[in-house]
Amino acid sequence: MKQFGFLQRNNSTKKGLAPRYIKQNRTTTQNVITTIYLSGVFVAGVFAILFISGRLVVGGVPSSIIMRFLQDDIARSAYFRGDKAGLHDRLDDMGIEAEMKTFYRPQIPDEAELDQHIHQILYDRTGYVGVAYTVNSAGVLVLKDD
């Protein structure tokens, strides 16, 4: 028998007739590898769609905001230089805080709680403490007493 990929040629045919081809069964290992590969492609596709659509949140920051941040040279360089105040000013100029509030408002209807949540996310990611907040010993932002 000669093999051609997944087909086998059966030479035991009657004289004068064309050879018959029989499909060779896939092994269990090939099926498992194919299933794992296709599952990985599916999961990667789902994450790509969620990321592109802005529904994926990474570290509390929506992916659409991450993409805007990465495309902005000033914000990106301020982040990597460790310029907390410059980064905060640039994110404010870009309207990032307002966009994050719009994203989280359906989940957190209380404006004061929403503002604290957004500032906590920004503090955790950038290290910047807003003027209305102080950091307690647990690393949580709390409103300053007036």
Residue 25 is predicted with a pLDDT of 64
CA pair distance 127, 134, nearest whole angstrom = 12
Residue 117 is predicted with a pLDDT of 93
> For residue 141, what are the β-bridge partners?
135
Residue 59 is predicted with a pLDDT of 87
Contact (CB, 8 A) for 133 and 144: yes
List the helix and strand counts (H, then E) for the chain: 6, 7
> Which class for 124: exposed (0-12), middle (13-18), buried (19 or more C-beta within 10 A)?
middle
Tokens of 47: 């994450």
Tokens of 80: 């990597």
CA pair distance 75, 132, nearest whole angstrom = 22
> Which class for 19: exposed (0-12), middle (13-18), buried (19 or more C-beta within 10 A)?
exposed
Going residue by residue through the chain (146 aa), what tens digit of pLDDT does each one get? 555 555 555 555 556 556 565 555 668 888 889 999 999 999 999 988 988 887 888 889 998 899 899 999 999 999 999 898 898 889 889 999 999 999 999 999 999 999 999 999 989 988 888 888 999 999 899 988 86
State how far Cα 51 lies from the chain centre.
5
Residue 2 is predicted with a pLDDT of 52
Residue 7 is predicted with a pLDDT of 54
Rg (the chain; Cα; Å): 29
Residue 4 is predicted with a pLDDT of 53
Tokens of 14: 């009657």
